Structures are given as structure tokens and as C-alpha cells.
Amino acid sequence: MARTVAAASHQCGLRVPGFRTAPVRAGSWRAIKRYANGSCLVSVVIQGRTEAAVLADMIDGVVAANQLAGAGAEDVRRRLMLQWRPASALAA
């Protein structure tokens, strides 16, 4: 999933954050860490969550990493979501 989101983000001309599981802060579904060099790391809880919820958090991480808001953020969310093809759809 992370590779798909990263590839789609790159195709949209966006800065691609790194992804990892399990935010350090307990109780958080997602977190973003910004580094001095401008890169970001998005951490998302995967265990016990739906694929759609995890994907939405990863996409929100891309939006945050690129400091998008308003219509621009909604456009990016829509474009990235359209790139996603769940494994169950590929098997059909």
C-alpha cells in the first residue's frame, strides 16, 4: 500500500513522505514527523483497522507533508484515492 501511495504521489508531482507503522505516541492512529531537511515520516496504525481507514490516513499524511489545504488538498485526496486498487479487486 505504501508503494502505491508513494508512486501515485510522485506522479502527482508531490513530495513523497516516508511511511512506517505504529506511531510512537500511544493512542494515535497516525502521526507525522518533520525533519530539518524538509522530509517527513508518516506513521500509521495498521493492526485492527480497515484497509480504507489505513489508506485514508496515509493519503492525509501526503497532504500534510505537502502542506496542502482547501480545494488543492481535496483534489490530491481524490486523485490518490483513484489510484488505489485493492488486492480483492485485482483477483476478480
Distance of alpha carbon 16 from alpha carbon 5, whole angstroms: 9
Please determine, for residue 91, whether its predicted confidence score (pLDDT) is greater than 70: no
The percent of residues in the chain predicted with pLDDT above 90, rounded, is: 70
For residues 56 and 65, what is the distance between their CA atoms, to the nearest angstrom? 14
pLDDT at residue number 26: 77
Cα angle 40-70-85, degrees, rounded to a multiple of 5: 65
State whether the Cα torsion 7-59-54-26 is positive or negative: positive
Question: What is the rounded distance in angstroms from the CA atom of residue 32 to the CA atom of residue 4?
Answer: 19
What pTM was estimated for this model as a whole? Answer: 0.85
- pLDDT given at position 27: 79
Say whether pLDDT at 36 is over 50. yes
| 8 A C-beta contact, residue 63 and residue 70 | no
Looking at residues 31-57, what average pLDDT do you find? 93
Sheet-wide strand order for 40-44: 18-21, 40-44, 30-34
